[in-house]
Structure 1
Amino acid sequence: MSDAPLKDPPPASDAAEAEPPPGRVRKPVGWSMISILVLVLVCAGLVYRRDGADGVVEILTHDLSLFGGILPRVLAGCLLGAFIAEILPHEKVSRSLGPKSGLKGLLIGTAFGAILPGGPFTAYPVAAALLTVGADFGATIAMVVSWTLIGYGRAVAWELPIMGTEFTLWRIVISLPLPVLAGAFGRFVYARVYPSGAPE
Structure 2
Amino acid sequence: MSLGRALSVAGLAAGLIAGLAACGGQADKAAQTPETPLLPATTPPPSVTPSPTPVDPTVAAKIKIMADYKAYIATKSNGMVSNHPTYPFERNMTGNALQSMKSWMGGMYLIETKYGGNITFVKGRVAALNLKAKPATATVYGCVIDNLTATSKKGKVRRSGGTHLSTHDQLVLVGGTWKVTENQSNDSKSPGCA
Q: Give TM class, smaller chain.
A: under 0.3
Q: Going by fraction, where is strand more abundant, 1 or 2?
A: 2
Normalised TM-score (structure 2): 0.24
Normalised TM-score (structure 1): 0.24
Greater relative contact order (Cα 8 A, min sep 6): structure 1 or 2? 1
